Amino acid sequence: MTNTISTRDSYLIKGFIILISFIIMYFNTQITYSKYVAIMTIIFNMITVFKVRKNWLLLIIFGFIFYSNISIVLANYFGYANNIFTSFSNDMSSVLGINLLFFTSVCLYCVLPNHIIKNNTLSIYSTSKKSDLIFLLIIIVLIFIFFNGFTKPSIAGGRGATSTLYEYSIVFFIIGYAYGEEKYKKIIISLILFLYVIQDMIYGGRGSALQLILIFFIVICSNKIDYKKAIPIIFIGMIIFTGIGNYRASFDFSINQICKVFNSLLETGFVNDTSYSAYYTSLTFLKVKEFVGVQTQLYLLFQFILYIFLGSKIVDSNLAVYTRQYYVHYYGGVLPLYMYFYLGILGIMFIVLYLKFWIKKMNESSKKVSHLQRCLCIYISACVPRWYLYSPSSLFRGVLIFIFVYKMVELLDMILKKNIQ
């Protein structure tokens, strides 16, 4: 009886918090007060990170969201950056933008389970025996993608380009680890993974490399290290990735250049440029939303839904590409503002409830979660940089592709086992 009352009270408290945040968002219509809403956003992000600190899958997601949001806040509302990407800082769109970040942060905190399972990383390995031939085929596919899915720059110091297939190699890495429980298999797939990382970073990339590093960490390291010991590693990673962001392919890991990057981070308050660049793009969503009308918004939503199932051949499926005809930006977009463009507050509530489903799975024991769902939890956690700052497609089309590939591999595995018997 006590637990029932406690749970009911918890829901009431969380409902009240969401209501208050909605009221704050509704009444904040001035740039002057946006700083205070920005501070409250960061406070809620910090509280969330603290609550999930002992669950690596959740900590990666909310830690990244926290770092992204604090970069957005410092750059746009506290003057830590002054460039084209902060040119809307004194525009009314930035008031609505921070309101939406605040409301989303509060809602995400409120959908967290009351009890967070300590060091829950969900085992990627299945209890059933996996085929060695399947593992070999996955390795062949990854090697093929490595050589054919990445276009090297034509000039020295230029940035390489990844194909869609290369970006979805993350699916094959996760499934490869699932079929590679033996030590030698882990070593083989990890070596290939770091070849991908090195190739991406040498030619100025960060996104794919970061996701692959997160997969390696979740699968291989997360059960051996706690969050306190990971802080120095995260700090070093920030310096390296910032250096690659600033200098691209010309970053050479010399002491002199590392010092330059570190000093740059100190001057900018460790603000991440990708975060506030994506936020700038998102603010163009809000500005375009003002004049395109509901019919166009629903049309673009419908095109995005078609894209989830049919792919990039669908026109007007990429909101960032659509808004670029009105405002110059460099693509990307922050998740809550994407969803707000399509469906307003209902869009934000939908994405929060969708994430709640996966948050719940990440907080359960491996015995209660299917093998496919465990793999998907790792995928969603590792892909947080892409779905929070670039496009929500990873949460929908990415998950759909993952399920398709997983089922095809599972079917092939069953056929091979029957033939062997």
Closest CA relative to residue 318, chosen from 345, 290, 285: 285
Structure tokens at 212: 């692959």
Sign of the dihedral defined by the CA atoms of residues 366, 371, 372, 375, in that order? positive
Query: What are 349's two structure tokens?
Result: 């509530």
Tokens 């070596």, residue located: 191
**pTM for the predicted model, two decimal places:** 0.93
State the alpha helices, DSSP H only, in 78-118.
Answer: 92-110
pLDDT of residue 361: 93
3-state helix, strand and coil shares in percent for the chain, rounded to the nearest 5: 75, 0, 25
Would you state the structure tokens that stand for residue 330, as one six-digit string? 């460099």
At 6 the pLDDT is 65
Nearest 10 degrees: Cα torsion 136, 212, 384, 353 = 20
Distances in whole angstroms, Cα of residue 369 to Cα of each of 106, 148, 375, 376, 395: 27, 35, 10, 11, 19
Yes or no: say if 124 and 173 are a contact pair by the CB < 8 Å rule.
no
Q: What tokens does 372 get? A: 């496919």
Q: Supply 270's token pair.
A: 């460790």
Contact 317, 306 (CB under 8 A): yes
Rounded Cα distance between 395 and 386, Å, is 9
DSSP designation for 249: G
CB 89 within 8 A of CB 77: yes
- For 140, residues 6+ apart whose C-beta sits below 8 A from its C-beta are none
Which pLDDT value is given to residue 247? Answer: 54
Question: In the chain, how many H helices and how many E strands?
Answer: 19, 2
* Three-class HEC string of 282-333: HHHHHHHHHHHHHHHHHHHHHHHHHHHHHCCCCCCCCHHHHHCCCCCCCCCC
- pLDDT by residue, tens only, the chain of 421 residues: 344 446 777 888 899 999 999 999 988 888 889 999 999 999 999 999 999 998 999 999 999 999 999 999 999 999 999 999 999 999 999 999 999 999 999 999 999 998 888 766 677 887 676 788 999 999 999 999 999 988 877 665 567 778 888 989 999 999 999 998 899 999 999 999 999 998 888 877 778 889 999 999 999 988 888 877 777 777 777 666 666 655 555 555 567 777 777 777 677 777 888 999 999 999 999 999 999 999 999 999 999 999 999 998 999 999 999 999 999 999 999 999 999 999 999 999 999 999 999 999 999 877 788 999 999 999 999 999 999 999 999 999 999 999 999 999 999 988 887 776 5
